[in-house]
Each structure stands twice: as C-alpha cells, then as structure tokens.
Amino acid sequence: SVAMFGKLAQPMTGEAFAQKIAQVLSREPLHIAPEQAEKMIETVGWCTGGGQDYIELAASKGLDAFISGEISERTTYT
C-alpha cells in the first residue's frame, strides 16, 4: 500500500506544489506532470526509496500527486 498520504490545507497546481517542495527542502524536485497539468492537487501520497513501484496504486486510490525518494526511467513513461 501507499506508505503515507494526506490532504493539502489548500489545493494548488502541480507547478506551485513543486515550487513549494523546492522551497521547503532547498532542493529542486523532478516534477513529472500529466498532459492535463492544470489539474489542482489536493491529495498527496509519498513513499521513500523505491516508492515508484507504488505510483499506480496511488493513482488507483485517487491521489492527485505522488512523491517518491527515487524513480527509474520507466516511471516517467507510466
């Protein structure tokens, strides 16, 4: 299962969410957005390490965004 998930206090765009992550972590995240990039993010799942294997599970649970500590090349084409 997805290790952790939660809800943002205020929905935001994927771009704004990526900027917030960069600001908080002082590190630029790799932001991979779907075609409909204007979709607002409200629910977020995350899993450290090889969490990319849970991205489809996160989507099936209706999560708007998923954060992983690492991804592989195949993840960008899922």
| Dist. CA 71–CA 68, nearest whole Å | 7
Please provide the average confidence, as pLDDT, over all residues in the chain. Answer: 83
Max Cα-Cα span within the chain: 32
Number of domains in the chain: 1
Q: Does residue 29 lie within any of the structural domains?
A: no
Instruction: Measure the CA dihedral 51/57/61/67, to 10°.
Output: 20
| Dist. CA 19–CA 15, nearest whole Å | 6
More confident residue, 25 or 2: 25
- Give me the pLDDT at residue 74, please: 57
Q: Does residue 34 lie within any of the structural domains?
A: no
Q: Does residue 18 lie within any of the structural domains?
A: yes
Q: Does residue 31 lie within any of the structural domains?
A: no
- Give me the pLDDT at residue 73, please: 60
Read off the CATH number of the domain in which 49 is found: 3.40.1390.30
Residue-number span of the structural domain to which 54 is assigned: 4-24+39-77
More confident residue, 14 or 75: 14
